[in-house]
């Protein structure tokens, strides 16, 4: 009888231990992990190379896991699914994600990178102006910052997407299509634009300057951000520190990025030298920029419903 009671008590203790272990959140355990999604050469990628963000989070008991994505749409799908905790994208993916019902929040905003984003064509192309794009095939990632750039660029020339042949491709596939001549133009961002210019026999037809600010945004799901305010503050402060370092250490940054990205130094140098890194404070002007994208995408039926981008502020 005594043995039976001891056995029953042992089973209760084991079950209780397992249940308490399963119910412990990542913010309470001793082996805490923060998963960060990034794209080639972006601010998170630089902070990863710099190493300061991982060191700062380690002091708080966290290990960082880095996950690379080709474009913001895939990154935000991972965020929606809970595969990552933070991510950095361009300006349009947050709009698309919010419209699809993902409860994301903006936790930070970067400076404009519009000089390195644009539409490239072959150097010997007959396309010499935006008006010449009429009837032509343009490759870009659907729902990306380049999608919006194309819309705005065409509008500047009195054209719409109905006047061209959109070819929806992710950067890696778009580059192949562009180099093989299967598309006439390619809208994309650095370092892909720089690679096309330096090794892909391409020229920039137009960059984003005067068309779109093409900012970076740092995102998390609302529930995660609200329960990890200290972590979020650390992440953004360390990204800001890495950006200050990036602006003042171009030579070292270029060398490290070229090695990490397995890219030619000339390509990386072009990407780095034509942008200013940094973190800005979210303000009404930036929110209005995002709202303009949301309204335009709704009109084009790229997103299914109207949204208020201010609903994605953490304070709401």
Is 277 in contact with 43 (CB distance < 8 Å)?
A: yes
pTM: 0.84
Which residue in 119, 236, 131, 235 sits closest to 183, CA to CA?
119
What pLDDT does 71 receive? 82
Per-residue DSSP letter, 111 = -
Positions in the chain short of pLDDT 50: 1-30
Q: How far apart are CA 130 and CA 34, in angstroms?
A: 43
Which residue in 227, 193, 210, 171 sits closest to 120, CA to CA?
193
What pLDDT does 31 receive? 60
Class of domain 115-207: alpha beta
What pLDDT does 72 receive? 84
What pLDDT does 73 receive? 85
- How many CB atoms sit inside 10 A of residue 313's CB? 14
**Topology, domain 32-111+215-312:** D-Maltodextrin-Binding Protein; domain 2 (3.40.190)
Question: Do 32-111+215-312 and 115-207 fold alike per CATH?
Answer: yes
Per-residue DSSP letter, 202 = E
Q: How far apart are CA 45 and CA 68, in angstroms?
A: 9
What pLDDT does 197 receive? 97
Sketch the domain layout of the chain as residue ranges: 32-111+215-312, 115-207
Helix (H) and strand (E) counts in the chain: 13, 11
What pLDDT does 70 receive? 85
Is 141 in contact with 189 (CB distance < 8 Å)?
A: no
């Amino acid at each position: 009888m005594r043995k039976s009671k001891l056995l029953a008590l042992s089973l209760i203790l084991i079950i209780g231990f397992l249940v308490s272990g399963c119910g412990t959140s990542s913010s309470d355990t001793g082996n805490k992990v923060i998963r960060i999604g990034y794209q080639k050469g972006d601010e998170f990628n630089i902070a990863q190379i710099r190493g300061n963000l991982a060191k700062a989070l380690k002091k708080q008991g966290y290990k960082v896991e880095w996950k690379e994505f080709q474009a913001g749409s895939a990154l935000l799908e991972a965020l929606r699914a809970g595969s990552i905790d933070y991510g950095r994208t361009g300006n349009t993916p947050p709009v698309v994600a919010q419209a699809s019902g993902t409860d994301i929040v903006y936790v930070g905003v970067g400076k404009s990178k519009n000089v390195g984003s644009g539409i490239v064509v072959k150097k010997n192309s007959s396309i010499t102006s935006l008006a010449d794009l009429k009837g032509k095939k343009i490759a870009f990632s659907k729902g990306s910052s380049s999608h919006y750039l194309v819309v705005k660029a065409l509008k500047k020339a009195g054209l719409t997407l109905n006047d061209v042949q959109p070819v929806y491709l992710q950067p890696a596939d778009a580059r192949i299509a562009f180099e093989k001549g299967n598309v006439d133009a390619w809208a994309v961002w650095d370092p892909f634009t720089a690679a096309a210019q330096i090794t892909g026999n391409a020229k920039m037809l137009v960059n984003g300057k005067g068309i779109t600010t093409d900012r970076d945004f740092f995102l998390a799901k609302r529930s995660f951000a609200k329960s990890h305010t200290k972590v979020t503050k650390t992440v953004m402060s360390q990204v800001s520190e890495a950006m200050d370092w990036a602006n003042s250490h171009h030579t070292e940054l270029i060398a490290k990025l070229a090695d990490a990205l397995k890219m030619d130094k000339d390509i990386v140098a072009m990407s780095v030298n034509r942008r200013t890194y940094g973190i800005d404070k979210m303000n009404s002007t930036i929110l209005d920029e995002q709202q303009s994208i949301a309204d335009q995408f709704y009109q084009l039926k790229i997103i299914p419903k109207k949204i208020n981008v201010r609903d994605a502020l953490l304070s709401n």
